[in-house]
Amino acid sequence: MFGVVDCYNHEVEFSKQSVGVSELLKNKAHRKHWSSQANVLTINAGTLAGVHPNFSSACCVNKSPFTNEVCFSEFPGFGESLARAGLSGLRFERKSEKPVILFLDGEKISFLELGNGFVKSLHDKGHNALKYFISKNFGGSVLTTSSGSNTVFGNVKEKSFTNSGGVGSVLRQAHGVVGVVLSQKNGLNYLDESLVSGLSDGFVFQENFLSDSSLLFNKKYDALPNRLFWNFKNKDLGLKLGIFDEFLVDKLFDEISVKGFDVELVSNLISGFLHAVHAGHVFREDFVSDFDVCFDFREFNSNPVFYSNEHYNFSRGVLSLLFDNLNLSRSQLFSYLKNNYGKESVNFFKLGSSVDLAKAISGFNGGAWNIDFTGKICALNSGKSINFGKEAVELSKIVNKFNGLNKVFGKVLEH
């Protein structure tokens, strides 16, 4: 179920999945200012959201205030939140006359208008104040704009991610939305009427909201997505493979950043490769020819440094594969865009790199990185087209079985 949000009338209709760039073309957003209502903003969950942790990101598509081109931003974990709320995605249209928070719990929908002065008082308190206020009073999964949404460099705050290239500015300035709250399994905790009636221009943000010592508000945000770091640093078997030390993770971050890739996206792909190898579906020789990589967990206890470095080498091989095959010619990618989405679609990507175009093509196909597209890229070098969707589903069964046994026996089973 896909929600189309009419921000002006405070209504939501449900329709088939929407493709973000197609909506931008339909509204001729390339001819208008980024803060225009024509800059519709689409948030799509991936095809496997909620099935497997490494495919739980949501992807936002909009015209970027910074580049004036189409921007694809990822929100780790938000895809799963959409799925739990019974949604496959959201599209924001038109603009609310006052700042508004949207609440979604399946087909249960409500809007809460806030005064401009109230929102400003929250933003003046810092980047996280609005998110903290909404989280404290509403619960659920929270997506909010920060004080940066008043600029072209606005950002969105969501759990553990910030670096989204103007998404918050578009939500705030083009659509008047300052927050989205999605239900979890237990549903939403709505504000009572007495507090709702007090949310006006004269309402002043209370200092006691800031005195809460919970990690929700006071934990420092990282500038980069951190799932890769925790995937490879946590000493767990199963979904999180404790294989990298901090130094090696930093080296990978640097290499990914230099290539201009999204760290979160690449970390998901690396995890996917590692999972497929551990499950015995593919072999490291298909992707890495120069490194002798050991995948025997028993080696970790006897020689953790060797084990860690060998997996680092494997991941570097995977990165090289991805970087090489995504560096396709611009003529190939432009031809694909024209044939599938019309000549005007090319206007959005005149200044973009071929890597950005490759991401855009996958984004056209549903708003998030297309898993089949990834498999085809891998096949260019290995000769094997990996169905990551199938692998994720099968592996989730294996992991769930393992975790269930682990709870029963209270320890990791011996080899």
Exposure string for 106-132, b = 16+ CB within 10 A, e = fewer:
eeeeebbbbeeebbebbbebebbbbbb
One-letter amino acid for residue 375 of the chain: G
Ranges of CATH 3.60.9.10 domains, the chain: 2-218
pLDDT tens string, the chain, 415 residues long: the values are: 778 899 999 998 887 665 566 677 778 777 788 888 888 888 876 544 544 444 566 767 777 776 666 666 667 667 767 777 777 788 899 999 988 888 877 667 788 887 777 777 666 665 566 666 766 666 556 665 544 444 333 444 433 333 444 787 888 889 988 888 876 543 333 333 333 333 332 233 333 322 333 322 222 222 223 333 444 444 332 233 334 455 655 666 566 555 545 444 555 555 555 545 554 555 556 555 554 555 554 555 566 555 555 556 666 666 665 555 544 455 665 665 676 656 766 665 555 555 445 444 444 333 333 444 445 544 544 445 555 445 444 444 543 444 444 344 434 333 3
Residue 25 CB neighbours (<10 A): 18
Is the whole-model pTM more than 0.85? no
Nearest to 96 by CA among 110, 113, 82, 78: 113
CA neighbor of 44 nearest in space, from 21, 65, 18: 18
8 Å CB contact between 141 and 181: yes
Amino acid at 17: Q
Q: Which residues of 36-62 are buried (b: 16+ CB within 10 A; e: fewer)?
A: bbbbbbbbbbbbbbebbbbbbbbbbbb
Task: Please provide residue 221's backbone torsions phi and psi, each rounded to the nearest 5 degrees.
Answer: -75, 140
**How many Å apart are CA 136 and CA 355, to the nearest integer?**
40
CATH architecture, range 2-218: 4-Layer Sandwich (3.60)
